Amino acid sequence: MPEQYDDGGFTGANTERPAFQKLLSDIDAGKIDIVLVYKVDRLSRSLLDFAKVMDRFNQKGIAFVSVTQKFSTADAMGRLTLNMLMSFAEFEREMIGERTRDKIAAARRKGKWTGGQVPLGYDVQDKKLVINDLEAVVVHEIFDLYDQHQSALAVAKELNNKGRRTKSYQARNGRTSGNQKWGKDAVLRILKNGVYAGYMPYGDELHEAEHEAIIDRERFMKIGSLLDGNKKNGHRHGNNPDCLLRGILRCQCNAAMTPASTRKKGKVYRYYRCVQRDKKGTKVCDVRQIPAQAIEDFVVDRIREAALGGKLAQKVGKSFQAAIDGKRKSLDIERRDLPQEIAKLSDTGRRLVDKVTEMDGVASKLLEDRINQVGSRLGQAESRLMQVERGLAELDRIEAETKWVTQAIEHFDAVWETMTPMNRIRLVGVLVKSVRINEKDDTVTATLTDICLPEIKVNAVSPPRMKPSGATMEASL
């Protein structure tokens, strides 16, 4: 009795088709004597896969006939013709694949969205990316947090502490995916995605996109530079008030210089030394230890010079205020949109609950799973709204802190000596991006943060260093 094996909707390039697999099972069971197909490439478009299938047919003594191409494997000419046809079928499939890839590449180079998983911060409308204001807030937050911590893992932890989740996706069959806790890799994918800066990536290329950017390009490039160089110059470790430049001071070999101290005749001598030299020896780096007080005084003098005239205080104040205003704008968007999202989820939940009584069996179980998902998202949205309210209150506190920093810079000479050690660390952390020593050309370079002034480079007669005798530390600058 003839049986039909139909794999409509499945490509001939895939041998894992349901009906095709059933055909193979029936062949192994000895139920089939001859296989007829409409065209050869309906069996397989891969020459390698087809050869394996034909070998299987031959072992079982099964004939193969193509109806429209009028040949059979019962004779040598038919087998030769078959192999030739399969070669052309595979060639055609590869050409179609190349044309498809070329079409996608051309569309990407024109800045068009060609499909795939939609990035966080965007939705798709009419085959174009459009900004999702609520999700865009999270994107801004990720870039802000990385700029602050310069650690993807730290960003992920903070996002999870705030109850943030990755983007949620819903398939055509109703199943949802995503909506997971943040991890290091998920954060890095956001930070490296050129889509957020108004680009359309294709391989290693970035092309002008037709969608609107969420992150300005200068900021995107800055974060990219930090990622490439794994820079952590602005990251402060610990709260030791005797280590003003911890996490800021860099050696000429680009390694960090870590604080240390020694006691001699009841007196403590502080200094900074290269971690690269400590780990790998003088063959890697021959820079000697630097007296802490001398290099710290040098940096404080550079800040004092930059603060003269009051322009630095004004610039820092404006920069901080702009950052506060930007963050406040993002939180205001969430405070505006979250109640609508909460109301929408609540309404969806009520409608799903009403339908439960109408369902039974598997349908009822699927509906209950959907209700749980909606309930989870509703809880997250309500929790986030509370966090937004706290965040807005925190911005008021930060605004007051900004005034303190601005006034401290404006009256630097008058307040520095009276500041507590922790307040000194706070102020230096705001103003100084890095300090680099270079014994080769006898220079010490202090680089202020972007919100301050361009790089200040000061030539020194001799770089400050710890005298072997342990005598009073001096620096001839």
In order of their start, the domains of the chain are: 18-109 (3.40.50.1390), 122-229 (3.90.1750.20), 311-400 (1.20.58)
Name the pLDDT band for 72 (thresholds 50, 70, 90).
low
Answer with the residue of higher pLDDT: 186 or 148: 186
Give residue 452's pLDDT: 54
Query: Distance between CA 370 and CA 59 in Å, rounded?
Result: 50
Give residue 259's pLDDT: 87
Name the pLDDT band for 44 (thresholds 50, 70, 90).
low
Q: Which segments of 230-286 does DSSP mark as H helices, in order?
A: 275-280
pLDDT digits (tens, 9 = 90+) for 379-402: 788 878 878 887 887 787 778 777
Query: Distance between CA 203 and CA 104 in Å, rounded?
Result: 11
pLDDT higher than 60, residue 455? no
Least-confidence region, from 93-97, 130-134, 181-185, 269-273? 93-97
Answer with the residue of higher pLDDT: 176 or 232: 176
Strand partners, 128: 125
Taking residues 155-169, report their average pLDDT: 90
Distance of CA 19 to the CA centre of its chain: 42
Least-confidence region, from 17-26, 128-137, 293-302, 359-368? 359-368
Least-confidence region, from 178-187, 215-224, 362-371, 461-470? 461-470
Query: Distance between CA 475 and CA 1 in Å, rounded?
Result: 100
Answer with the residue of higher pLDDT: 284 or 353: 284
Residue of 164, 209, 212, 211 whose CA lies nearest to 186: 164
Residue of 282, 274, 278 whose CA lies nearest to 255: 274
Residue of 304, 260, 318, 327 whose CA lies nearest to 466: 260
Indicate the pTM of the whole model.
Answer: 0.48
Give residue 89's pLDDT: 63
pLDDT higher than 60, residue 241? no
The string over 179-195, giving b where at least 16 C-beta atoms fall within 10 Å of a residue's C-beta and e elsewhere, is eeebbeebbbebbebbb
pLDDT higher than 80, residue 299? yes
DSSP state string for 336-362: HHHHHHHHHHHHHHHHHHHHHTT--HH
Residue of 142, 131, 137 whose CA lies nearest to 182: 142
> Max Cα separation, the chain?
105
pLDDT digits (tens, 9 = 90+) for 248-294: 888 888 888 888 888 888 888 888 888 888 888 888 888 888 888 88
Give residue 189's pLDDT: 92
Name the pLDDT band for 472 (thresholds 50, 70, 90).
very low
Taking residues 177-203, report their average pLDDT: 89
Q: Determine what percent of the chain is predicted with pLDDT higher than 70.
A: 79
CA separation (Å) from 299 to 382, 436, 443?
A: 47, 11, 13
The enclosing H or E element of 72 equals: strand 71-72
**What is the pLDDT of the chain when averaged over all its residues?**
77
Name the pLDDT band for 71 (thresholds 50, 70, 90).
low
